[in-house]
Amino acid sequence: MPMRRLFSPVILGFTFTATVTGCGDFLTGPKLQDDPNNPTAASNNALFVASQVNISTQLESRLARTICIWMQGCAGQTQYLSLGSYSVGEDDYYINWSAFYGGGGLLDLRTIQTRALESGDSVFWGTAAVLEAYVIGTTADIWGDVPYSEAANPKFPTPKPDPQQNVFAAVQAKLDSAITFLAATGPRNAGPGINDLVYEGDPALWTALAHTLKARYYLHVARRDPSAYAKALAEATNGIQPDGDYVVALSGQSATSSDLWNVFQSIFPGYVVAGAFMVNTLKGPPVDPRLPLYFAPNGNNDFVGADPGVPGSPELLSTLSATRLDGAFPQPFVTWEENQLIMAEASYQVDHSDGASIARNALQAVWDANGVTLPMPTPGTPGPTDPLLVAIMTEKYIGNFQNLEAWQDWKRTGIPNLQPAPGGVIPRRLVYPLSERNANPNIPGAGPARNWNDPP
């Protein structure tokens, strides 16, 4: 079992500041005047720590709050009420975009890989490559066609976007290479060791993460390429095992070293509350044991959530639970549960008869792990009303609370059957940030309403 170590305030300070105050344009800005192949400062270990911290903070920031609200696990109130009605500014997610590409993102991860090759440390190269795939795969999930082949390269100060399908193919190739490199042995292959703040440099755990990410991204193209379901199933069989989750825990000792959900709630109480759909799903019957782990009861000792875009009475609405708002909460990003439910969905989509047995076993394992007691549904007509598929994806929706992956699952399957805010339509992608469009002439305006992997 990997030790869950806490990030310290010192290493978190820079990343937190960038997250809450903004940062420069890392695709077209002065950072690219420095050759990443000839870094002048931080060591690989320091860059790796910074990258892990940066990535985790981006996945707990406004981006995560937005998706939680749109997927109705959360609800926006007061100044966030308009977010529940899908009103966002064209530059609201520029910080996330920049952080994925710049320092602590692609730029530093490429530097680590270059240095690792020079020193002959294949394991360090592999771990950095897995993080790169995660960062760029997430970026493509959100924006579709994104710069990758020309990104973080001083030769291309205004990199052009690559088609989303090409980005996903490149991510798969990167993960394949990472798996190969992580298998290297010998004295030079030390990897990040204790500087890896999640797995402590364990190549086996990084390899399992790589397989689960491969499975995740295969699912993300399955609507365009149904053969991806079989590929996802094959990868998930080698994916994350119990106690192998990619889980990030901050120290909780200060604002710069706490889970960002905790920080946001302490500064802006009442902006993000429980979403009615998630609350009602957990209330059952039967009541899901995760209900009090996700949300706090109101003054009437009841759990009540708000509908999207609808103001509620603060004294009646549940907030996130003390567990979820603990500054040291171990935020899960890629987990054994996700891996199991990828196996369930993929096996069932591959074969509705023989695959149903694998799907049921995987679903039951997740239910058992969470103390859930529900009757196992029988297969139905393939589609978003199939009882077994609905059960699988509903469980995944619950397990991915506060996780961006819930948005990708919903776009792919239409499960759960979310009703949008009055007069609104749940967004299916974010627009390209206005600041990046102004700086990079190769970014084609705001972009389409849907990404390539999400056809009508």
- Per residue in 144-170, pLDDT (tens digit) is 999 999 999 999 999 999 999 999 999
pLDDT at 103: 93
**Antiparallel, parallel or unpaired: β 146-147 and 161-162:** antiparallel
Fold of 6-254+330-336: 1.25.40
How far does Cα 89 stand from its chain's mean position? 21
- Do the Cβ atoms of 435 and 91 come closer than 8 Å? yes
pLDDT at 254: 74
pLDDT at 129 over 60: yes
Sign of CA dihedral 395, 398, 402, 406: positive
- Do the Cβ atoms of 96 and 77 come closer than 8 Å? no
Cβ neighbours of 427 (radius 10 Å): 17
Q: ∠ at Cα 391 (386, 394), nearest 5°?
A: 115
Peptide bond into 422 cis (omega under 30): no
- Per residue in 249-288, pLDDT (tens digit) is 877 777 677 889 999 999 999 999 999 999 999 999 999 9
Give CA separation, 4 vs 45, 328, 332, 412, in Å.
18, 11, 11, 32
The per-residue pLDDT of the chain, averaged, comes to 91
- Per residue in 323-338, pLDDT (tens digit) is 999 999 999 999 999 9
Q: How confident is the model at residue 1 (pLDDT cuts 50, 70, 90)?
A: very low
**Phi/psi of residue 216, nearest 5 degrees:** -60, -50
d(CA 379, CA 351): 11
- Do the Cβ atoms of 432 and 441 come closer than 8 Å? no
Domain residue ranges in the chain: 6-254+330-336
Q: Which two tokens stand for residue 291?
A: 């209900």
Any idea which of 9-18, 91-100, 251-260 has the lowest mean pLDDT?
A: 9-18
The pLDDT of 36-64, averaged and rounded, is: 86
pLDDT at 32: 43
- Per residue in 337-385, pLDDT (tens digit) is 999 999 999 999 999 988 999 999 999 999 999 999 999 999 999 889 9
